[in-house]
Structure 1
Amino acid sequence: MVEKSRAANFMEKPLPNQPLITSGRGYPMQHLLFKISGLTDENSVRTLANAIQDLPSIGQVEISLEKGEASIDHGRFVSPDDILQAIVDAGFEAECRY
């Protein structure tokens, strides 16, 4: 029981300057904001969402067609550069705004 208590206490501490977001496995997640060029309709939004969600360790993905932005929560098994590359490979231009 002591081990579980320590793990629970660890997860209650947010990262500096970021709220604590966890994946289903309890790993801390980071939040990124990308400015996306090339979103034209709901099909392009779906294409982009599928490309991002195919990556490992992706949490919540919100894409705004109106703003041309993608808000992404990701875990430690994928880097911002990996996400950017997936966006570019899907046919869009992007800039990470963190």
Structure 2
Amino acid sequence: MHVPIYGLMYGGLGLQVAAEAARLTGRLAMAPGYGLAAIGTFSQMAAMVFARADAGAALSAAFTAYYLNRWWHGGGGTGTRRRLRDLRERFFGTRRTAPAAA
């Protein structure tokens, strides 16, 4: 199976550089900028995993986690938090065991 490793690698790098440039010039808010950078580093991590470059994959995973953390705590995860909260409220537990005889 042929995986387009260079496409993932350079596409992720391009997305990360574009997100950083847009954030630094003020054309993109902080949270979306970190979200795009996380997508870019995740793409790089996938390319490293397919290329079996363990150290590069670990470094890309660390940067992906950092950018996702900054995105989540910077307000980017607000809609995601709301959807998870709504999902939690709709869940209700059901007793699955037979009642104990008295």
Q: For the superposition of Structure 1 and Structure 2, which TM-score range results when normalised by the shorter chain?
A: under 0.3
Higher RCO (C-alpha under 8 Å, 6+ residues apart): 1
> Given the two structures, how large is their TM-score scaled by the length of structure 2?
0.27
Instruction: Specify which structure has the higher proportion of strand.
Output: 1
